[in-house]
Structure 1
Amino acid sequence: MVQETGGPKVNVLLSLYRPDPGYLEEQLCSIKGQDWPDLEVVCYNDCPDDPVDRSAIEAALAPVPVRFLPGGTESLGYVGAFEKLTRASDGDFVFFCDQDDVWDPGKISTMVRALEEDGSLLAVCDYRTIDGTGNVISPTVRHQGSRRFIDTWDTGDDVVAHDVFQCLAPGMVLGMRGPFARSIVPFSRRTGHDKWAIACAGIEGVVSYVPETLASYRRHGANVTGALQGVDTKADYRAKRCADHDGVIDDLEARYGDVAALKEAREFSRARLAGNVVGIWRHRDLAPDQARFETVLALVPSPLFPVLKKAVRRVAP
């Protein structure tokens, strides 16, 4: 239960889009169960055609205050929704919140402590994955014995180039200093709000990694997608899976100028767009799975792409 207000204020930014009522209630209860003294939920419904029950949300969170942002006539998309929420925030610390995940008690206080002790702009915590019924799929996202950067990076590491190509952490495990979060809007529309925030924090300062498992990330049919979904040709793949990464680098350079941390990212991105096997393999550490697939892709004749796509679909988890 939340204590009396006082001390730094935390905004929990909750974006809704036709939420599953059971999942949402579980998430709201987990927010209510945080131990932070001064907590406010800022809520935005991004589905104009499907209004949410505000009174039910307020009741589930009480006594945590809720501030509802006015909706528009069209959906903003998840990046636009979180940008709107971030602009409306006023807290000393800001946490992104999805509608179907679950937070462990003490998530906020543990991550704020890391932000303060490390002097970082953004913190990421470990998390478990669960299925649609709450069964644990994996108790941690870190794979024991793996040497991949995504499984080994730690507080203070240079995460920028890797973050351009890989999701180092989903938004629901991010905590940020409020002034920093508000300073990085508008968000790039060529990547996720979480990846944009991590890249900006890595360029401007320190990103913290909190090893405690503090949340459950729910995987279910509505939020699982495939790398080749909507991709029918090699040209499609490069246009839909490679060009945006190059655009993110453009957006970061437009904001920060010539950034050394982006040099390797640009080299890898251009190699991917060109199907340059040597360049892809040289920088494979930035995205090992993509590099392996795109090395094969570069060597496969275009007419055989459907065969490759079927093979990938068969081995995908």
Structure 2
Amino acid sequence: MAKRVSIVLAACNGEKYISAQIASILQQLGENDELIVTLDPSTDQTESIVTGFHDPRIRLLQGPGRGVIGNVENGLATASGDYILLADQDDIWLPGKLSKVLTALEQDGVLLVLHDCRIVDENLNVLKPSYFSWHGTKKGFWNNVIRNSFIGCCMGFRRSLLERVLPFPSQLPMHDQWLGLVACASGKVSYLEEPLLDYRRHGDNQSSLHHAGLKQMIAWRVCVIRALKKRGLL
């Protein structure tokens, strides 16, 4: 029996780009897969755009209105797939993304896959051809405690990871770093050097490429380490 895939897309006021993103995802899904759009309270036409696809694979959820992290958790809590991928409302999946991530996830012992992406502007002009190179992405648990390289929209993972990451700890600074570190502490993480996504940056993204101040970064990492210890992963 074929494995089922769940895509979790956290949205909020995403009318400008979400249609193109959903279209790029649906092209790659099988008939039994699902795209969960968890929509935080919005003041634009995002909801009507999503429902306008009239695709039975799309499941629209009411978001909790607690920001991106709470919205992602809301979607993950209802995901039924054997494999789960996260998606942002602004990006574009490149052809073959899903099949390449699934192939990597099917390797023995692989719990989570992280792939490269291209950083693009609002018109999809390439600003950086490789996020991995631009960011200086490093493998390993402690490298990613010190400087996070995990981006949610570039990750796919096995369902078994959900049992370890949910519910999210309170005061969690970043859901993608939490998912990545739990995976590092629990199993094998596979890195795909090929860019499989156009990571659109336009000034109004819900996520940021910029770092917080040093004091805040230290406080966040203390929070994450404590949460990992509480889950018995350190």
Q: Distance in 2 between matches of 1:182 and 1:87?
A: 10
Comparing both chains, which one has the higher relative contact order based on Cα–Cα distances under 8 Å and sequence gaps of 6 or more?
A: 2
Q: 1:140 to 1:26 in 2, by over 3 A?
A: same
Task: State the SS of the aligned residue for 2:132.
Answer: coil
Q: CA deviation at 1:50?
A: 2.7
Q: Distance in 1 between matches of 2:163 and 2:58?
A: 19
Task: State the AA in 2 paired with 1:221.
Answer: G
Q: Distance in 2 between matches of 1:141 and 1:161?
A: 20
Task: State the AA in 1 paired with 2:86.
Answer: F
Count of residue pairs brought into register by the alignment: 231
Task: State the AA in 1 paired with 2:5.
Answer: V
Q: Which has the larger radius of gyration?
A: 1
- TM-score normalised to structure 1 length: 0.67
Which of 139, 143, 151 is residue 137 of structure 2 equivalent to? 151
Q: 1:41 to 1:182 in 2, by over 3 A?
A: farther
Q: 1:46 to 1:35 in 2, by over 3 A?
A: closer
Q: Distance in 1 between matches of 2:30 and 2:194?
A: 17
Which of 204, 219, 223 is residue 247 of structure 1 equivalent to? 223
Higher strand share: 2
Which of 130, 141, 150 is residue 140 of structure 1 equivalent to? 130
Identify the residue that residue 11 of structure 2 maps to in structure 1. Answer: 16
- TM-score normalised to structure 2 length: 0.89
Q: CA deviation at 1:11?
A: 0.6
Kept in 1, the 8 Å contact 2:18–2:46? The answer is no
Q: 1:114 to 1:103 in 2, by over 3 A?
A: same
Q: 1:217 to 1:118 in 2, by over 3 A?
A: farther
Gaps of 5+ in 2: none
Kept in 1, the 8 Å contact 2:138–2:144? The answer is no
Identify the residue that residue 178 of structure 2 maps to in structure 1. Answer: 196
Kept in 2, the 8 Å contact 1:190–1:245? The answer is no
Identify the residue that residue 50 of structure 2 maps to in structure 1. Answer: 57
Q: 1:105 to 1:56 in 2, by over 3 A?
A: same
Task: State the AA in 2 paired with 1:28.
Answer: I
Q: Distance in 2 between matches of 1:63 and 1:24?
A: 15
Deviations 1:128-186 (A, max 9, x none): 10011110001112339xxx9x4353xxxxx2112223221310010011232244111
Q: Percent identity?
A: 29
Q: Distance in 2 between matches of 1:118 and 1:225?
A: 33
Q: Distance in 1 between matches of 2:142 and 2:56?
A: 38
Task: State the SS of the aligned residue for 2:107.
Answer: helix
Q: Distance in 2 between matches of 1:11 and 1:117?
A: 19
Task: State the SS of the aligned residue for 1:117.
Answer: coil
Gaps of 5+ in 1: 1-5, 154-158, 232-236, 260-317
Q: 1:203 to 1:227 in 2, by over 3 A?
A: closer
The 10-residue stretch of structure 1 (121-130 or 179-188) with the greater mean CA deviation from structure 2: 179-188
Kept in 1, the 8 Å contact 2:8–2:37? The answer is yes
Q: Distance in 1 between matches of 2:127 and 2:44?
A: 32
Task: State the AA in 1 paired with 2:59.
Answer: R
The 10-residue stretch of structure 1 (168-177 or 34-43) with the greater mean CA deviation from structure 2: 34-43
Q: Distance in 2 between matches of 1:71 and 1:249?
A: 28
1:219 aligns with 2:219: no
Task: State the SS of the aligned residue for 1:142.
Answer: helix
Higher helix share: 1
1:160 aligns with 2:141: yes
Task: State the SS of the aligned residue for 1:195.
Answer: helix
